[in-house]
C-alpha cells in the first residue's frame, strides 16, 4: 500500500544553500518566473507593450507627482520622452540629446524649485537636467557641476561623485543653497569630501531623518545641523555598501535594502547584515562583475516585495530579478530578457471588462483588487532595444515572448516518508495534484536533476479539482531520490498549484 506525503501550499521559497535532499518539502531548489500569492504558487503575470519603442537602450523610468497630476518619463542614452497615459503614446521632451554611454546610469531626485516639485536627473556626463509637469527638459540653472548621483533631502538638492573644472571628486558630496536647487555658490551651498575610507561613492538614499551615502565598504549618515556646516556626516563601519546606487530602496520594516558585492543587505542605521535567505551563496558566486553597476531595484508595495535586477552567469544585461518578500523573508527569481530598467508609475485608468488583458480564466488577481484600480502603482520594464512593457495580472506573455515558468522541488527520500535510512530505495508511484490554469508539464528526476523524464502534460481547468477528484500523475520508478518539476513554456498559458500528494512505497535498503 503506497504511503502518501501531503504537500500543502508548497511556497516556502528558493533554497540553494544545501543539498536538495535536506531541503524542506515545501521549498524549491530551482525556480524561474513563478510567483507567490496567499501562499499559492503560480506562473507569474506577464506584461503588455506600452507605446512605441524608444529605439535605444532604456536607462531609467521615473514619475513626477505633484498633487493629483503625474508625468511618467523614460530616459535613454540620448532621448527623453514622456507618456500620454490616455493614448499610451510617448512623445519627445528632449531639449538637447544626451551623450551618456550604456554604463552611465541615470540618477533621479525630486527637489522643490520656487515651491514647486520638479524632477532632476543626471548621468554624470551631461549637465544636470530638470523637468516639470509641462514642457521639455532643460539644463538645471546655477551651473552646478556634473554629478553621477542626485537626491533630494529636506530643502536641499544633494549631488555626489562630482566632476568640476576637469577634476573628478569620487568622494565628494555637494548641495545647493537652502530651498534653491539653482544656486550652487554662496548662502548655505557647500560640499564635503568623505575621505575616511578610499572607496568611491556608489549611491545616495534617504533613511528616516538621515541622508545615506554609500560606498562599497561603508555607509555614511548625513544629518542637517544648525551650524554653518549645514550637513554633518558620520561613517558607519558596516563593511559593505551598495555596489549600484539604483538598487537602494526603503522597505516598511524601517530598513534600507541594497545590493552589495556579496548579496542583498539590510541597513538598520548601525549595521548592514545580509538578508536571512539561502540564496546569498548563489548570488555571490554567480553575479556578473562586468555589469554589476547596472543592477537596479524597486519596492513593489502591493506584493510586499523588493525586486533586484542583476546580471548572473552569462547575462549581458541585469536580466535576472531576485524578489524578496520582507514579510515572509522568502525569495525567488524571475528572468526578463535584456531588461535594462524597472520603474513604478501611477495607473490613472481603472481596468474595465473591455480593457482587461487576456481571458477571464487568465486573470490571477481579484477582479476589484488594487492592481486593477486607478491610482495603483504599476511596474514598468524597459529593455536594450527601447521597448516598454507594464506588468498585467491578465497577461500570460511578456509582450510577444512566452513566459517560461519552472518550479523544481527538493529531492524526496525515504526519510520524508518516515524511513530511518535516507538511502533506502523507494518505488515512486506518482502524485495527486490540485491545480488550475491551461496546462502544466510534470517531469521527474532520479539523479538529483541531472536528467529528466516526462511523466505527463496535464490539461487544466479554470477551477481546482475537488478534494475527492484530484488530477493524477503516474510515475512508477524505483530509486533513492525523486525530484519533481512543474513547468510551462507556452505562450498564452498559465498554471497555479495549491497542493499535491506524493505517493511511494518503501523497498529494500541498499547494502
pLDDT category at 365 given cuts 50, 70, 90 is low
**Among candidates 342, 339, 260, which has minimal Cα distance to 305?**
342
Res 370: pLDDT: 43
Contact 356, 369 (CB under 8 A): no
Q: Report d(CA 46, CA 438) in Å as an integer.
A: 15
Res 128: pLDDT: 98
Give residues with Cβ within 8 angstroms of 363, minimum separation 6. 356, 393, 394
Res 355: pLDDT: 46
**Among candidates 410, 419, 377, which has minimal Cα distance to 508?**
419
pLDDT at 388 over 80: yes
pLDDT at 284 over 70: yes
Phi, psi of 350 (to 5 degrees): -75, 135
pLDDT at 375 over 70: no
More confident residue, 306 or 332: 306
Which alpha helices (H) appear in 41-199, and where do they start and end?
A: none
Domain boundaries, given as residue ranges, for the chain: 3-44+405-506, 46-400
pLDDT at 373 over 70: no
More confident residue, 418 or 136: 136
Label residue 389 left, alpha or beta by phi (over 0 means left) and psi (-120 to 50 means alpha). beta
pLDDT at 175 over 90: yes
- 406-430: pLDDT as tens digits: 999 999 999 999 887 778 899 999 9
Mean per-residue pLDDT of the chain: 92
Cell triple for 107: 540618477
Res 47: pLDDT: 95
Cα 9–chain centre separation: 23
pLDDT category at 353 given cuts 50, 70, 90 is very low
What's the average model confidence in pLDDT over 257-285?
93
What's the average model confidence in pLDDT over 451-457?
97
User: Which fold does the domain 3-44+405-506 belong to in CATH?
Assistant: Jelly Rolls (2.60.120)
pLDDT at 9 over 90: no
pLDDT at 349 over 60: no
pTM of the shown model? 0.91
**Among candidates 276, 245, 243, which has minimal Cα distance to 262?**
243
Res 414: pLDDT: 94
pLDDT at 509 over 70: no
pLDDT at 478 over 60: yes
Cell triple for 402: 512566452
CATH class held by domain 46-400:
mainly beta
What's the average model confidence in pLDDT over 351-372?
48
Res 398: pLDDT: 93
Q: Report d(CA 11, CA 330) in Å as an integer.
A: 9
Give the chain's length: 511
- 298-328: pLDDT as tens digits: 999 988 999 999 999 989 999 999 999 999 8
Q: Report d(CA 165, CA 186) in Å as an integer.
A: 18
pLDDT at 459 over 80: yes
What's the average model confidence in pLDDT over 277-285?
87
Three-class SS state of 496: strand
Amino acid at each position: 500500500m503506497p504511503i502518501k506525503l501531503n504537500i500543502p501550499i508548497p511556497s516556502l521559497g528558493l533554497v540553494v544553500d544545501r543539498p536538495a535532499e535536506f531541503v524542506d518539502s515545501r521549498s524549491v531548489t530551482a525556480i524561474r518566473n513563478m510567483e507567490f500569492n496567499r501562499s499559492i504558487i503560480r506562473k507569474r503575470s506577464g506584461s503588455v507593450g506600452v507605446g512605441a519603442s524608444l529605439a535605444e537602450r532604456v536607462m531609467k523610468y521615473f514619475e513626477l507627482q505633484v498633487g493629483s497630476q503625474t508625468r511618467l518619463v523614460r530616459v535613454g542614452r540620448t532621448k527623453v520622452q514622456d507618456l500620454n497615459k490616455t493614448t499610451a503614446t510617448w512623445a519627445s521632451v528632449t531639449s538637447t540629446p544626451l551623450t551618456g554611454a550604456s554604463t552611465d546610469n541615470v540618477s533621479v531626485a525630486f527637489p522643490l524649485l520656487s515651491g514647486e516639485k520638479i524632477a532632476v536627473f543626471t548621468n554624470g556626463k551631461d549637465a544636470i537636467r530638470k523637468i516639470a509637469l509641462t514642457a521639455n527638459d532643460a539644463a538645471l540653472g546655477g551651473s552646478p557641476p556634473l554629478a553621477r548621483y542626485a537626491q533630494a533631502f529636506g530643502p536641499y538638492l544633494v549631488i555626489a561623485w562630482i566632476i568640476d573644472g576637469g577634476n573628478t571628486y569620487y568622494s565628494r558630496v555637494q548641495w545647493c543653497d537652502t530651498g534653491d536647487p539653482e544656486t550652487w555658490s554662496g548662502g548655505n551651498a557647500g560640499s564635503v569630501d568623505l575621505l575616511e575610507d578610499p572607496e568611491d561613492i556608489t549611491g545616495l538614499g534617504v533613511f528616516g531623518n538621515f541622508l545615506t551615502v554609500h560606498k562599497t565598504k561603508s555607509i555614511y549618515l548625513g544629518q542637517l545641523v544648525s551650524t554653518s556646516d549645514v550637513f554633518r556626516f558620520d561613517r558607519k563601519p558596516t563593511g559593505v555598501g551598495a555596489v549600484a546606487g539604483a538598487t537602494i530602496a526603503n522597505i516598511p520594516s524601517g530598513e534600507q535594502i541594497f545590493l552589495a558585492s556579496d548579496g542583498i543587505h539590510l541597513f538598520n542605521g548601525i549595521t548592514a547584515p545580509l538578508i536571512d535567505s539561502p540564496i546569498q551563496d548563489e548570488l555571490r558566486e554567480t553575479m556578473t562583475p562586468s555589469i554589476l553597476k547596472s543592477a537596479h531595484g524597486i519596492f513593489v508595495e502591493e506584493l510586499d516585495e523588493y525586486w533586484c535586477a542583476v546580471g548572473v552567469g552569462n547575462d549581458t544585461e541585469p536580466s535576472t530579478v531576485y524578489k524578496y518578500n520582507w514579510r515572509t523573508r522568502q525569495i525567488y527569481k524571475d528572468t526578463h530578457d535584456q531588461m535594462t530598467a524597472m520603474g513604478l508609475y501611477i495607473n490613472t485608468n481603472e481596468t474595465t471588462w473591455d480593457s482587461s488583458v487576456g481571458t477571464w480564466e487568465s486573470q490571477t488577481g481579484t477582479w476589484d483588487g488594487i492592481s486593477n484600480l486607478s491610482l495603483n502603482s504599476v511596474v514598468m520594464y524597459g529593455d536594450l532595444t527601447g521597448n516598454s512593457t507594464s506588468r498585467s495580472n491578465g497577461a500570460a506573455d511578456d509582450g510577444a515572448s512566452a513566459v517560461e515558468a519552472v518550479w523544481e522541488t527538493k529531492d524526496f527520500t525515504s526519510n520524508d516518508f518516515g524511513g530511518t535510512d535516507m538511502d533506502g530505495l523507494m518505488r515512486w508511484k506518482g502524485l495527486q495534484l490540485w491545480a488550475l490554469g491551461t496546462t502544466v508539464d510534470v517531469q521527474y528526476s532520479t539523479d538529483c536533476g541531472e536528467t529528466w523524464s516526462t511523466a505527463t502534460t496535464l490539461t487544466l481547468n479554470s477551477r481546482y479539482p475537488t478534494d475527492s477528484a484530484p488530477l493524477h500523475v503516474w510515475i512508477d520508478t524505483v530509486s533513492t531520490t525523486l525530484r519533481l518539476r512543474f513547468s510551462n513554456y507556452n505562450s498564452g498559458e498559465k498554471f497555479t498549484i495549491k497542493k499535491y500528494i506524493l505517493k511511494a512505497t518503501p523497498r529494500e535498503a541498499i547494502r
